[in-house]
Chains A and B, each alone.
Chain A
Amino acid sequence: MNGQYLSGLAEFLWGIPMAVLHADASGWWIMLIGALVSSACSLIGCFLVLRRLSMLGDAISHAVLPGIVIAFLWSGSRDILPMLLGAGALGLLTAFMTDVLNRQGKLQTDAAIGVTFTWLFAIGVILLSKFASNVDIDLDCVLYGEILYAPFDTVLWGESDLGPRAVWVLAGVTLANAIFVVLGWKQLKVCAFDPGLAQSIGINVALWHYLLMGFTSISTVASFESVGAILVVAMLTVPANTAYLLTERLSHMIFIAIGVGIASSVGGYGLATVLDGSIAGAMATVSGLFFVMAALFSPRHGVVAGFIRRRRELTLEDAQS
């Protein structure tokens, strides 16, 4: 009986890499889209995590909804530029409203975030339900994404097919994020570590905060079509937090986060294929598993390492006494 279960489990696990290896063209596009989503999000997510703003990322990912709907209604198309602008504006509005409620309204940050993003998201839901017939998106897509169909929404240049639109958009956003992080490295780092010092040496801390929020917004909106507004939060925070546990250098943290994100995308595709379930959900699940592994086995911060360290200290004390 036990053997049966074990061989079943082995078969199941073996199925994951096999599903990846035997993926068809659209499967590879899906993995590439997942990898780009997680790369774009990890680049920004590392700074959100270090600044303890993960939940602001969460808030922005929801609050951009009205911006997207308004952009749809206004432009009457699914062009990416109006969407990015609409989302960017709403993302900054979220950050700004949170700030105002926090400072002027004397609300705690978490309360300010909670009030702001649910309100904006609710407005987005109303707009979406009111004008759903006019716009080419539905709530399910916004919430859960439709990465499965992304490979078939391709960009055409004359006669030739240039590949999925999502790949182009996400590659552009990933590149923009990378440029932002490289050029703003000093400022982002010192603002995250010691805002007081940053301001005292003449860095405009508020400006860099809003720039970070702006890039969070466009990363979110570029990703949400594929993975949905809920799972994009997983991409912003989980790989970054996993990397945080594994390294002691900021630059390494970013590369590890991207690596974890890419591995989660590939592994998630395999898992979803074997389970015949939601791809985006599986990708987020796999990244969660990576996080658990890091939390358990990280050499410095891990539970196991801590246990061994305590044991060693105890034996040392025994030896001394």
Chain B
Amino acid sequence: MNPPPIEIHDLTVAYHHRPVLWDIDVSFAAGELVAIVGPNGAGKSTLIKAMMGLVPLASGHVNFFGEPSVKRRSTVAYVPQRGSVDWDFPTTALDVVLMGRYGQLPLFGRPRRKDKEIAVECLKKVGMLEFAKRQISQLSGGQQQRVFLARALAQQTSVYLMDEPFAGVDASTEKAIVVLLRELREQGSTVLVVHHDLQTVPEYFDSVMLLNLRCVAFGPVETTFTAENLQKTYGGHLHLLTEVGEKLRQREWRHRNATH
């Protein structure tokens, strides 16, 4: 049997001796589209950064395809939060997407025609081709997010770790991202998405990982995304839970109607 694309063993991360992630032990299969949800400060972004080796691990390890993550880091495409970079940087959308190719280039090598073709293709996939030559500060939030996704696609890998790609994007971008995520899943990619909007989890994702310092629950949305598990993850934020409970009821209602 092939080793799973992502394996996390006993992962603990601490900032200034205070744990922010505790004993995470989980693995993700090929073709899995996973939402990582949890309250603010639950360690969602930290989990992704820890997998990419961007924050030091207090203990445990992460394997990609059965090998230590450091060795296989370039096989994983990372989409940081949009707010983590300076969008006034003097560069174009196409150029940002080309950066996705840098990992595959030799030390002093420049992007070749092939790389540019790939970048253009990826911009086309996210519907941003006409903005290729735009300076990135002149793009809307949703367009910037699409550029980030195109850059991840340009890495041409089969594992994608995305940090809040849906944050602050317009409805059409949200739709485009969902289509893209499904496409990636069809290709057998493993996609982990830090997600903040509980209401869309059942609609957009197959699996869900509920995170709050530790992994509260992980599994298919149908069996894992339950009011009980959410209560465990979010604690006493009742107004939020009733809202989600309402959504869940609506979904069941929709399901019933759909099956009838």
Chain A residues with a Cβ under 8 A of chain B: 50, 183-186, 189-190, 192-194, 196-197, 199-203, 244, 247-250, 252-253
Let me know if A186 and B78 touch, CB within 8 A: no
A201 with B108: in contact, given A190-B99, A252-B90 (CB under 8 Å)? Answer: no
Most buried by B among A197, A199, A249: A197
A199 near B54 with CB under 8 A, answer: yes
CA distance A192 to B89 in the complex (A): 9
A177 to B48, CA, bound (A): 36
Q: B165 to nearest A CB, angstroms?
A: 14
Q: What are 22 A-B residue pairs whose CB atoms fall within 8 Å in the complex? A: A50-B89, A186-B109, A190-B99, A190-B102, A193-B91, A194-B80, A194-B84, A194-B99, A196-B54, A196-B80, A197-B151, A199-B53, A200-B53, A200-B78, A201-B102, A201-B103, A202-B74, A247-B90, A248-B90, A248-B91, A248-B135, A252-B90
Tell me the bound Cα distance from A203 to B110 in angstroms. 15
Do B102 and A193 touch across chains, with their CB atoms under 8 A apart? no
Q: A200 near B89 (CB under 8 angstroms)?
A: no
Contacts of A253 in B (CB 8 A): 90
Interface residues on B, range: 20 to 34
Q: Which residues of A contact B108 (CB under 8 A)?
A: 183-184
The one of A183, A186, A250, A252 that contacts B102, using a Cβ cutoff of 8 Å = A186
Q: Known contacts A186-B102, A248-B135, A252-B90; decide if A197 and B73 are in contact (CB<8 Å).
A: no
When chains A and B are docked, how far (Å) is the Cα of A194 from the Cα of B54? 12
> Would you call A193 and B155 a contact (CB within 8 A)?
no
Question: Chain A interface mostly helix, strand, loop or mixed?
Answer: helix
Cβ 8 A contact of B90, one of A196, A201, A202, A244: A244
The CA of A201 and the CA of B49, in the complex, are separated in Å by: 13
Taking a contact as CB atoms under 8 Å apart, the answer to whether B103 and A202 are in contact is yes
Residues of B within 8 A of A192 (CB): 89
Question: Nearest B residue to A300 by beta-carbon distance?
Answer: B135
User: Which B residues lie within 8 Å of A244 (CB)?
Assistant: 90
Check: B222 CB closer than 8 A to any chain A CB: no
B85 within 8 A of A: yes
Q: Would you call B135 and A193 a contact (CB within 8 A)?
A: no
Further 9 A-B residue pairs, CB within 8 A, beyond A193-B99, A196-B54: A50-B90, A196-B49, A196-B84, A197-B80, A201-B73, A203-B103, A248-B91, A249-B91, A252-B90
For residue B78, which residues in chain A have a CB less than 8 angstroms away from its CB? 196-197, 200
CA distance in complex: A200, B54 (Å): 8
Specify which chain B residues have a CB less than 8 angstroms from the CB of A196 in the assembled complex: 49, 52, 54, 78, 80, 84
Do the beta carbons of B52 and A250 come within 8 Å of each other?
A: no
Do B76 and A200 have beta carbons less than 8 Å apart? yes
Q: Is B139 interfacial (CB 8 A cutoff)? A: no
The answer to whether B74 touches A201, judged by C-beta atoms less than 8 angstroms apart, is: yes
Chain B nearest CB, measured from A20 CB (Å): 31
- Is B224 in the interface zone, CB < 8 Å from A? no
A190 to B154, CA, bound (A): 15
Chain B residues whose CB sits within 8 angstroms of the CB of A194 once the complex forms: 80, 84-85, 99
Distance (Å) between the CB of B191 and the closest chain A CB? 16
Return A11 CB to nearest CB of chain B, in Å: 40
Contact across chains for B103 and A193 when beta carbons are under 8 A apart: no
* Chain A residues, CB < 8 A from B84: 194, 196
The residues of B that contact A197 with a CB separation of less than 8 Å are 78, 80, 99, 151
Minimum Cβ distance to chain A for residue B196 (Å) = 19
Chain A residues with Cβ below 8 Å from B135 are 248
Q: What 0/1 pattern do residues 79 to 97 of B give for CB contact below 8 A with A?
A: 0100011100111100010
Complex: how many Å from CA A193 to CA B99? Answer: 10
